[in-house]
Amino acid sequence: MDLDRLLGRIVDEVAPLRGAGSAADYIPALARVDPGRFGIAFADLEGRVHGAGEWEAPFSAQSISKVFTLALVLAGGGDESLWRRVGREPSGNAFNSLVQLEHERGIPRNPFINAGALTVTDELVSLAGDATGELLAFLRAESGNPDLRVDEEVAASEAAHGDRNLALTHFMASYGNMRNPVATVLDQYVRQCSIEMSCRDLARAGLFLAAHGVRRDGSELVTRRQAKRINAIMLTCGTYDAAGDFAYRVGVPGKSGVGGGILAIVPGRCAVAVWSPGLDERGNSVAGVAALDHFTTLTGWSVF
């Protein structure tokens, strides 16, 4: 299969969708990004990477970082502790919903909605202290890019407009579901979401999930069972309350972020990353989802 030609074809096929949707305007630093930009990268288990479009342009990872934070908590032995604090079911509500959290008495529905990810960050702070430093070290090693960094402008912008996340964290603390100070957890969470990565970086960093938990250097980050379970949660919960539609159209585990990126995993084969900042009403990249739909259709690679 000529992957360069395939990726080039996908770029052409999604061209009419570039610019559809709108950037995440509730984070001012993200609202300024041109929604018409697009990149795609493919990384296989041998470490080969192919890309098209703006596949080496850095963008804000946002909620895609939640996949890696979850993996680090599980790798650090937090499996049993974490799943007492957060569920594993699709939410069916907005990613920052307070209503569901109140109904379920401070236990988030899954680790990829904001409340759940804040709980995961709290767990990683307990395990590692500097949760963002731990995450950056991992991403730099797996992507092969030692220059990955937090975008301080995005972090400041997100922190200044993070009232809903503040409310979620305090609400969970009121139910005893926070172990560290709210301010510490929020700061670490915002900084993790503000890490800049390109499609190339993201595809390479996600390969351990395609390789059943094995890192770039051949060591095991998480067990095969844990990797299977992370992929399962990505499939059922990774694209907010559009997970069913994403599974229907794309057919592989995926995690999106409001920076316009999506990381998709084909277990046993590859990782694919796309980026296009124009979002639909549920917070997923319009052109990015379409590109992944084309990718799995043209290759025949799907979990179904």
Catalytic residues: 63, 66, 189, 240, 258
Structure tokens at 179: 């172990």
CA 70 to chain centre: 10
Cα torsion for 12, 47, 206, 139, to the nearest 10°? -120
Residue 228's CB is within 10 A of a number of other CB atoms, namely 15
The CA–CA distances, whole Å, from 136 to 121, 150, 237, 260 equal 14, 8, 24, 20
Query: Count of CB atoms within 10 A of residue 144's CB?
Result: 14
Q: Show the DSSP H helices in the chain as ranges.
A: 3-14, 28-31, 65-75, 79-82, 99-103, 114-128, 131-143, 152-160, 163-174, 182-193, 199-205, 207-210, 224-237, 243-249, 286-299
